[in-house]
Amino acid sequence: MSDTISFRQEIANLLYASEGEPLNTCIQCGTCSGTCPVAPYMDYTPRQIIAMINQGMKEQVLESNTFWYCASCYHCTVRCPQDINITDLMYALKRYSIWKGQHKEGLIGPTFSEAFVKMIVRGGRSFEPVLAPSYIFSFGMRELLLEVQGATELLLKGRLPLLPPRIKRLDNFKRMLGRIIPMGGLE
Amino acid sequence: MEKKERIGVYVCHCGTNIAGVVNVGEVSTWAAENLKEQGVVIARDYKFMCSSLGQELIQKDIKEHGLTRVVVAACSPHLHEQTFRNACKGAGLNPYLSELVSIREQSSWVHTDKVAATEKSKALIAGGVARVIHHEPLEPLRVPIHPATLVVGGGIAGIQAALEIANAGYPVYLVEREPSIGGHMAQFDKTFPTLDCSACILTPKMVEAGNHPNITLLTYSEVEKVDGYVGNFVVTIRKRARSVNEELCTGCGICWEKCPKKVVDNIFEAGMGTRKAIYVPFPQAVPKYPVIDRENCTYYIKGTCKACEKFCPTNAIDFAQEDQLLNVEVGNIILATGYELFDARRITQYGYGRLANVFTSLEFERLSNAAGPTGGNIVLRDGKTVPKVVGIVHCVGSRDKNYNEYCSAICCMQSLKFAHLVHERTGAEVYNFYIDIRTPAKGYEEFYHRLLEEGTHFIRGKVAEISDAVRLPGEEGKLIIQVEDTLTGNQLRVPVDMVILSAGLEPRRDAKEVANKFGISCSADGWLIERHPKLDPVATVTEGIYIAGCVQGPKDIPASVAQGAAAAARILGKIQQKEIALEPVRASINQDQCSGCRICNNLCPFNAILFHEDRMVSEVNPALCQGCGTCVAACPAGAISGTGFSNEQILSQIEGLLLLNIPKKETVA
Amino acid sequence: MTDTPETQTFEPVIIGFTCNWCSYRAADMAGTARMKYAPNVRLIRLMCSGRLDPTFVLKAFAGGADAVLVSGCHPGDCHYINQNYKMLRRFHLLKRVLQQMGIEPERIKLLWASAAEGAIFAEEINKFVEQVRPLGPLNWKPGNGAQVEAPVHEEVPA
Amino acid sequence: MKKEFAYFPGCSLEKMAVSYHMSAMETTKKLGVHLKELEDWNCCGATTYSYIDELLAYTLSARNLAIAEQTGLDVVAPCSACYKNMYFTAAHLKKDPDLAEHINFALEEDNLHFTGNVGVKHLIEVFAYDIGPEELRSKVVKPLTGVKIAPYYGCQIVRPQKDHEDVELPQFFEDILSAIGATPVNYPLKMRCCGGSLIISSRPAALSMVRNLLQCAVDAQADIVATACPMCQVNLEVYQQQVNQEFGTNFSVPIMYFTQLVGLALGIPQKKLGIGKEFVAATPALLRVEQAGAASDQETKE
């Protein structure tokens, strides 16, 4: 037995607060992956990811797009016959991969998430235009044009804000988040 | 203490079960040294106290050391109390002068800290030693056994049990809630893995039970109340009004032919067919007499009709018939009340009840049964279209914490049987969707192989959902089964014409009530609990009450039959002894101390305490007393004592457990 | 008492009373399933929780027990029909008496456990030990007038 | 009946889903329910926040919950993601005192404290249970007779919450639509996901999910799809054009907030309900239905 804790244990620790049952109770029935609306787009189905975690296949899990493709619809979670909270697992893998700075190349998810979080830390509220650069560069030209088209139309319909919204007690708000995580980690 | 008892203490290793955690050597040395004051003259530890060598060790010591009391520290008294009592008896010591202390279930198996477990074991033994001093020599109570047996439930398990006992020459009351015996087996078409015709093998047994001179068949009846105790139960049975005079009826069938009222049969036909308001559930029904379903009979609803009465050639129809309450005396009882099918509607995403061509397993049994509503033609809900592709879903409501966590044991084989029947009768493509294929009995795995050879598709994956939402070409008009093929990791959409849900087995909805009525208990799942899961599967913790068949847990026909026969054999053994020895744990009242306050009179749930008005004292009837001890605890005059659980015994045990009056000597670890 | 290092390491001694049919079997079940729980409880088997004489509880406290567990079948499940209800009545009375004698009510616990509830039995014992631990040792000596050998009794039960 | 709720609009309702906000305010006012906007609320973190840090996600929602607690009212969220975040934050904090202590330590910086005495509801639950279909029906002046509407529940209203009603096939949305005189269509995919934030991060997957949903609605002959979540609305509506380009389809389905539909039935002018801000104009569908209705009225008269 080595001193370093196994990948399987690390993920279990990340899920300690989750209401679900531990991953080692998975019976590999495939209900999650049969249910998942995004499964056909994933490198591995959620069921396979659980098996891989239980096998300690850290590199392959982190390199997969599976958890970035989870849309948090919770359909797998309500159907799982073993009460495993698969959606929470996907969240945990996203966090883990961002912390470790290790994820599949060319994914929008990680960049987008970080941009989104920074935006809220700055203003307390979400402001769609700030998000644009983070994904426009990652998509192709066609998507860029489509996105701009969509955005222009939204603007014309009065559905896109021009100025970033801010909450009033922003200083308190920032200090509050500072008590949870050092600001430097986000800015 | 006038006369000091000579006590032997025996600490069992139980292999490593105890010795792996508790330092048994230290415990026995400690007992020998520190419990001398209490009268311990010898203490030993041994690998397996319950083995014949272990028992001989005790017997030898009783003789050689003149032991007057024996304390064994081993497993739970529910397992081996009798063993060690017998050992004492064999050596001439009254069996009730022994005490079994549980240091396995209560120490080594539940604690990991070896030191703490060892210390606790010492305290438990000290408690046992302190208690055993106050044990008294007792003789078991002997009561006669009534030779009759009550069997509740007329399915295959109950029928088997009833026949075994009746054929041995003893009377049986067979009580069945439905109008006919036969149970679920009567609904099936074929039985796995041999594909015997279910009715062909069941009907002869039903007829035999119906005609047997030793069997009193009470169908359309339910047990209302159970009084008494092993050997001497008094059971009240409600025989519901059939509205048909059984003495006049010949079972000719004219009445149900002429009855104008059709009713959907949700019981026997699983909603797939109809019956009349006066009916027998199926042609081979035993007994042959019909019943009138008063909720649906036009006469009972509107006051007119009486078609059955007009046509009955023997004037057997009796609209005024009333329920009868019968009291029967029996010595033993077998509960064989069976199971209920899991309600597949609860899994909304499988569409049962919403999508027409999703069937339950029981519906399919009726569909494939030659005597069923379609004459055995496997067709869609429209009654004519033969399916080209059929999907069979395993584990419906089983192995799923959202419904039932247990495996229903029969669904794999049942699904394979369905796959075979569909293939054989329609030539359709058949898909089985399974999590694991479980075929652990004689000839079962071979049947699975037969199905593989027949070309049935097996897809390993629990079905996620069944819908009629068409997305891809080829899906129009089909039911789409969405599932992950877990062996390839592909999400599949399998279009089929018919889905069969292999629904799991559940305890009867009133299982809890039944358990209470008979004084036994249900597991958390709702199945009735056997006395020991491995070594005593048909007895219960209540003497004289046995269980057989699916009431104890999901099982197939061979296992149900075996349990029915096993329960019968147990009872026959008891009946032949003519009397039974009961634990002499009884309350008794010291008449000199009784103040006649009558507090105890109302406390006894068995009405075992009589009050003598003339002498103003109460008295316990030992035949009725069950030994709970509530009256003992409540008597303000301390006049009631409880054999085996006297105040001295318990108070001393408390002292012992707290290691009072025990010298604190240094022990060698 | 607060959480001093002393009370944190204090191991209370607990006497537990079980009935023969449900709660003792729950303990057996916990054993058979190898469920682990704290080693502080020492059990006494009675036939029924209805047999529980309040004297037993006082005797345990006077003899040095730091807490007492009383357990029986679930209401409605009693092997002797309804004797556990009679214990329940007695239990409430007893709790009041104990309080008058200066024993914290947290030191006595009532637990219903069916024969199938080994896991609950184990879990509840752990909870109870943690409930008693911060209270520290009891060291209760029956005061004037409280004679342990003479049974305490409820008034005439209905 | 509770007449007053604390109201947490969420970021989308400020601009992107402003018509949801407008119609929510108008309809509740008409139904005698007062929605009191939380003072100085912050973003709930949407789904993405949990990607970065669980505690931060809890802190964001806890701040809003603590502000709501001060009002003594249950808090209502119109957005499914906001609702889910608040509901589960409240549940987790109530269950885990250590977590609550940690979060309350942070909340001190803004002079706030979460005790757990606040109920969390989705706006559609207020309509379905606090107002109820009966009450709603009695207030309808312009029933949407003949309008075939696909109720789109999406994900986070009933999932993952298990002890709610049926998580697979609830009926309360249909009950609301029936109450305003419309015809709810049987819409098998009503509980399936719209793709959520995948529309940004994993577009091909999300577009196909949107396509499936629209196809199902069209197959069910829906005139309109009704939603109760700004994210679902945007995905189904703003990206409809892209779906058409990607899959060669020809969808033109108006996606409306259920509050807009309720507002119409209550006789509130279209403009006040934000109708006209949608990409796929709702008016043709409404007009078509109105004409059809008028025509059939005429027929019956003749």
- Name the pLDDT band for D293 (thresholds 50, 70, 90): low
A79 vs B contacts (CB less than 8 Å): 349, 402, 464
- Name the pLDDT band for B621 (thresholds 50, 70, 90): confident
What is the rounded average pLDDT of the residues B549-565? 97
Asked if B551 contacts B528 with a C-beta cutoff of 8 angstroms, the reply is: yes
Distance CA A115, CA A133 (A): 9
Say if the Cβ atoms of A44 and B461 lie within 8 Å: no
Say if the Cβ atoms of C47 and B602 lie within 8 Å: no
Question: Which of B520, B265, B247, B464 has the alpha carbon at shortest distance from B348?
Answer: B464
B460 vs A contacts (CB less than 8 Å): 30
Q: Where are the beta strands (DSSP E) in B230-330?
A: 232-239, 262-265, 273-276, 278-279, 291-292, 324-330
Say if the Cβ atoms of D168 and B467 lie within 8 Å: no
Say if the Cβ atoms of C86 and B105 lie within 8 Å: no
For residue A184, the model assigns a pLDDT of 42
B5 CA to centre of own chain: 44
Shortest Cα distance from D169 to chain B (angstroms)? 7
Coil vs helix vs strand at D62: helix
Range with lowest mean pLDDT among B544-548, D9-13, D33-37:
D9-13
Which amino acid is present at D94?
A: K
Say if the Cβ atoms of B78 and C87 lie within 8 Å: no
Which amino acid is present at B280?
A: V
Which amino acid is present at A180?
A: I
Q: What are phi and psi of B535, to 5 degrees?
A: -95, -10
- Calculate the alpha carbon distances from D128 to A38, D137, D253 in Å: 31, 12, 25
Query: Could you tell me what percent of chain A has a pLDDT over 70?
Result: 73
Asked if D32 contacts D266 with a C-beta cutoff of 8 angstroms, the reply is: no
| Other CB atoms within 10 Å distance of the CB of residue B229 | 21
For residue C83, the model assigns a pLDDT of 85
| Other CB atoms within 10 Å distance of the CB of residue B200 | 10
Range with lowest mean pLDDT among A170-184, B88-102, B420-434, B637-651:
A170-184
Say if the Cβ atoms of A34 and B483 lie within 8 Å: yes
Cis amide bond preceding B290, omega within 30? no
What is the rounded average pLDDT of the residues A62-89? 93
Length reported for chain D: 302
- Name the pLDDT band for A104 (thresholds 50, 70, 90): confident
DSSP for A56-75, written as a single string? T-HHHHHH-SGGGG-----H
Q: What are phi and psi of A39, to 5 degrees?
A: -50, -40
Which two three-digit tokens encode residue B585? 């744990």
Chain C, nearest residue to B599 by Cα:
C156
Question: Which residues sit opposite C10 in a β-bridge?
Answer: none
Structure-model confidence comparison of residues C138 and A179, the more confident one: C138
Shortest Cα distance from D187 to chain A (angstroms)? 17
For residue C157, the model assigns a pLDDT of 42
Range 38-67 of A in CB contact (< 8 A) with D: 38, 41, 65
Distance CA B606, CA B106 (A): 32
Cis amide bond preceding B287, omega within 30? yes
Nearest to B471 among D168, D169, D215 (CB): D215
Whether the predicted pLDDT of D274 surpasses 80: yes
Whether the predicted pLDDT of D48 surpasses 80: no
Say if the Cβ atoms of B105 and C21 lie within 8 Å: no
Range with lowest mean pLDDT among B556-565, C18-27, D280-289:
D280-289
Q: Does D1 touch chain B (CB under 8 A)?
A: no
Say if the Cβ atoms of A169 and D40 lie within 8 Å: yes
Coil vs helix vs strand at A89: helix
Which two three-digit tokens encode residue B569? 């054999």
Interval C51-91: pLDDT, tens: 999 999 999 999 999 999 999 988 877 878 788 888 888 89
For residue A1, the model assigns a pLDDT of 45
The Cβ-side half-sphere exposure at B277, using a 13 Å CA radius, reads 20
Cis amide bond preceding D160, omega within 30? yes
Chains in touch with A (3+ beta-carbon pairs under 8 Å) read B, D
Shortest Cα distance from C4 to chain B (angstroms)? 22
Structure-model confidence comparison of residues A5 and B174, the more confident one: B174
- pTM for this predicted structure: 0.83
Which of left, alpha, beta for A127 (phi over 0: left; psi -120 to 50: alpha)? beta
Range with lowest mean pLDDT among B264-268, D90-94, D125-129:
D90-94
Q: Report strand pairing: B579-582 vs B429-434.
A: unpaired
For residue C75, the model assigns a pLDDT of 80
Whether the predicted pLDDT of B90 surpasses 80: yes
Question: Which of A144, A137, C83 has the alpha carbon at shortest distance from B632?
Answer: C83
Interval A9-21: pLDDT, tens: 888 888 776 777 8
For residue B468, the model assigns a pLDDT of 93
For residue C109, the model assigns a pLDDT of 95
Shortest Cα distance from D10 to chain A (angstroms)? 8
- Calculate the alpha carbon distances from B11 to B31, B48, B72, B92, D153 in Å: 10, 9, 6, 21, 66
Coil vs helix vs strand at B613: coil
- Name the pLDDT band for A79 (thresholds 50, 70, 90): very high
For residue A160, the model assigns a pLDDT of 64
Which of left, alpha, beta for B261 (phi over 0: left; psi -120 to 50: alpha)? beta
For residue D127, the model assigns a pLDDT of 96
Whether the predicted pLDDT of D297 surpasses 80: no
Which of left, alpha, beta for C104 (phi over 0: left; psi -120 to 50: alpha)? beta
Q: Report strand pairing: B149-152 vs B332-335.
A: parallel
Whether the predicted pLDDT of D295 surpasses 60: no
Interval B412-471: pLDDT, tens: 999 999 999 999 999 999 999 999 999 999 999 999 999 999 999 999 999 999 999 988
Residue with structure tokens 């600001």? A183
Distance CA D132, CA D272 (A): 23
Distance CA B366, CA B272 (A): 7
| Other CB atoms within 10 Å distance of the CB of residue B345 | 12
Which of left, alpha, beta for D130 (phi over 0: left; psi -120 to 50: alpha)? alpha
A160 vs D contacts (CB less than 8 Å): 15-16
Question: Which of C2, C25, C145 has the alpha carbon at shortest distance from C77?
Answer: C25
Question: Which residues sit opposite B640 in a β-bridge?
Answer: B589
For residue D296, the model assigns a pLDDT of 53
DSSP for C58-75, written as a single string? HHHHHTT-SEEEEEEPPT
Do the two chains B and A touch, given a threshold of 8 Å on CB pairs and at least 3 pairs?
Answer: yes
- Calculate the alpha carbon distances from B284 to B9, B152, B558, C14 in Å: 64, 21, 22, 63
DSSP designation for A6: P
What is the rounded average pLDDT of the residues D36-53? 77
Which amino acid is present at B13?
A: H
- Name the pLDDT band for D294 (thresholds 50, 70, 90): low
A47 vs B contacts (CB less than 8 Å): 484, 486, 489
Asked if B403 contacts B512 with a C-beta cutoff of 8 angstroms, the reply is: no
CA torsion sign for B21, B25, B28, B34 is negative
Residue with structure tokens 């380009």? D245
Nearest to B349 among D168, D189, D215 (CB): D168
The CA-CA-CA angle for residues B186, B188, B192, to 5°, reads 120
Distance CA B479, CA B468 (A): 5
What is the rounded average pLDDT of the residues C34-47? 96
- Name the pLDDT band for B507 (thresholds 50, 70, 90): very high
The CA-CA-CA angle for residues C11, C15, C19, to 5°, reads 140
- Name the pLDDT band for B400 (thresholds 50, 70, 90): very high
Asked if B35 contacts B9 with a C-beta cutoff of 8 angstroms, the reply is: yes
What is the rounded average pLDDT of the residues B238-251? 96
Interval A112-154: pLDDT, tens: 777 777 777 777 776 555 444 444 444 444 454 556 566 667 6
Question: Which of C115, C109, C119, C121 has the alpha carbon at shortest distance from C78?
Answer: C115
Question: Which of D288, D298, D294, D263 has the alpha carbon at shortest distance from D24?
Answer: D263
Interval B168-196: pLDDT, tens: 999 999 999 999 999 999 999 999 999 99
What is the rounded average pLDDT of the residues B75-80? 92
Range 517-546 of B in CB contact (< 8 A) with C: 519, 521-524, 529, 541-542
Distance CA B129, CA B68 (A): 12
Question: Which residues sit opposite D148 in a β-bridge?
Answer: D183
| Other CB atoms within 10 Å distance of the CB of residue A38 | 25
Whether the predicted pLDDT of A84 surpasses 60: yes
Interval B38-56: pLDDT, tens: 999 999 999 999 999 999 9
Which two three-digit tokens encode residue D87? 């509901």
Whether the predicted pLDDT of D93 surpasses 80: yes
Q: How many CB pairs under 8 A join B and C?
A: 156
The CA-CA-CA angle for residues D94, D100, D105, to 5°, reads 155
Distance CA A22, CA C16 (A): 33
Nearest to A161 among D15, D200, D212 (CB): D15
Q: Report strand pairing: B7-12 vs D148-151.
A: unpaired
Largest interatomic CA distance in chain C: 48
For residue D163, the model assigns a pLDDT of 64
Distance CA D165, CA D153 (A): 13
Whether the predicted pLDDT of B166 surpasses 70: yes
Residue B380: partners with Cβ closer than 8 Å, 6 or more residues away = B356, B357, B386, B387, B497, B498
Length reported for chain B: 669
Whether the predicted pLDDT of D218 surpasses 50: yes
Distance CA B37, CA D268 (A): 95
